[in-house]
Amino acid sequence: MSAPLSILLIATGLELGGAERQVVDLADRLAARGHRVGLAYLVGEAELRPGADVELHALDFSKTPAGMLRGCLRLRRLLRQWRPDVVHSHMVHANLIARAVRLIAPVRRLVCTAHSTVEGGRAVALAYRLTDRLADVSTHVSREAVEAYERAGAVPRGRMRAVLNGIDLRLFSDAPERRAQARRRLRPGSDVRLLLSVGRLADEKNHAGLLRAFAHVAGRYPDVQLWLAGDGPRRKDLLRQREALGLEDRVVFLGARHDVPELMRAADVFVLPSRYEGFGLVVAEAMASGTPVVATDAGGVAEVLNGAGILVPVGDDDALAQGLVEALSMDAGRVAAMTAAARRQVEDRLDIERSVDTWLDIYREDD
C-alpha cells in the first residue's frame, strides 16, 4: 500500500460554481483516503467549504501589484510550511500563480488543471504558454477543451492531458423514492412540470437565450415552469427580460442554492443553455439524478452526455426550444430508457472515486 501524500490544492476562488465544487469534492475525497490535504484559494469568500479534515487557507490576493505581491508571499510561506509532495492548482489564474511562485518556493510536483475553454483571451493564453514548462503536468477537463487550448496556442500540442471531472454518486441519486421526496418538499401539491437550469447568471451561460427559447415553450405548455438556480452579474438584466417576455409567473429565480441534488431530483427536465463550458458538471449531476437533459453542444458537454440526452447547437434559440419541446413530449418509456442510459454513463465514467484514482496515479508518476 502506498504511503499517504501531503497534497496542497490551490483554487482561484471558492464561489458557488461547478469548477469550485469539483475542487472541494476532490479535497474531501483525498482526505477521506487518509492523505494530508490543504486547500488554498486566491480571492473572495469561501462560499464552498471542504470538510473538517481539509485545512483551508485564504491567500487574499488583490488586483493591485502590491496585493499580488502580498498574496504570492503568503503562498510562498504556506508552501515552505507545508512542503507538500504535490501542489495541484485549479483554474487558469491559480495555475499561473502557482507556476510563478514555484520560482521562489519549494514545489516538488506541480499539477495544473484548467476548467474552462474561455480564460481571459490572448494575453492569458500567451502567459499560459510561456509558463507551461513550470508545470510537471497540465490537464483540462475534457478532450474538446484540450483541443481548444491547443488551437489558442495556450499549450504545445500533445502536452496537455484530458482528465474528466467526477461527481459524488452518493449525493446525486436516481432512486424513485428520493425523487418523490424531493418533489414533495420543493413542489408540494403541484402538478406543474419543472424545467431546471443551474449555473451562474453570467453571459457565457446564456440564460437570455434560454428565456427566449422558453417563451416559445411556455405558449405551448401552460403547465411548465422554468426555475433558474444561481446568481451573478446578469440577474437584473434577466429579471427585466422576464418581465418584457411576460413570463413573471412562469420563470422563478431561486438565487444561489446549496440543495442542488434535491433540485435535480425534483425537476422533470434539466437544461443547460451555455455558450462556453469546459466540462458541464451540472449535466453529469442531472444524469446521475435520473433527470432528462437538454444541453447545448458547448465545450465538453457532448463528451459528458455521450448520446444519453438531447444535444442542440450553441446559440440557436429555436433549436433549444425544439429540444425542450422534444423532452417535454417524450413518453414514459423513452424517459426511462434515456435516464437509465445516462445513469450508466455516469457510473461507468464519471464517479468521483475514479477521478481520485486517476489523480493519485498522476501525483505518483515519478515515485
- pLDDT over threshold 80, residue 90: yes
Q: Return the minimum-mean-pLDDT range out of 32-46, 171-185, 283-297, 317-331.
A: 171-185
Q: How confident is the prediction for the chain on average, in pLDDT?
A: 94
| pLDDT tier for residue 353 given thresholds of 50, 70 and 90 | very high
Q: What is the end-to-end Cα distance of the chain in Å, rounded?
A: 13
Considering the domain architecture, whether residues 64 and 213 belong to the same structural domain is answered as: no
- pLDDT over threshold 80, residue 119: no
Of the candidates 86, 62, 118, the residue with the CA atom closest to the CA atom of residue 98 = 86
Query: What is the residue range of 147's domain?
Result: 6-166+351-363
Within-domain flag for 106: yes
Within-domain flag for 171: no
pLDDT of res. 120: 66
Classify residue 249 as exposed, middle or buried by CB count within 10 Å of its CB (0-12, 13-18, 19+). Answer: exposed
pLDDT in tens, 227-241: 999 999 999 999 999
Considering the domain architecture, whether residues 106 and 188 belong to the same structural domain is answered as: no
Q: What is the mean pLDDT of residues 58-87?
A: 96
| pLDDT tier for residue 191 given thresholds of 50, 70 and 90 | confident
pLDDT in tens, 2-44: 899 999 999 999 998 888 999 999 999 999 999 999 999 999 9
Considering the domain architecture, whether residues 226 and 323 belong to the same structural domain is answered as: yes
Within-domain flag for 158: yes
Beta carbons within 10 angstroms of residue 271's beta carbon: 30
Considering the domain architecture, whether residues 324 and 356 belong to the same structural domain is answered as: no
Instruction: Give residues with Cβ within 8 angstroms of 359, minimum separation 6.
Output: 26, 30, 88, 111, 163
| pLDDT tier for residue 1 given thresholds of 50, 70 and 90 | low
Q: How many domains does the chain have?
A: 2
Considering the domain architecture, whether residues 182 and 330 belong to the same structural domain is answered as: yes
Report percent pLDDT > 90 for the chain.
Answer: 84
Which CATH number goes with the domain that contains 58? 3.40.50.2000
Within-domain flag for 101: yes
- pLDDT over threshold 60, residue 367: no
Considering the domain architecture, whether residues 95 and 113 belong to the same structural domain is answered as: yes
- pLDDT over threshold 90, residue 211: yes
| pLDDT tier for residue 111 given thresholds of 50, 70 and 90 | very high
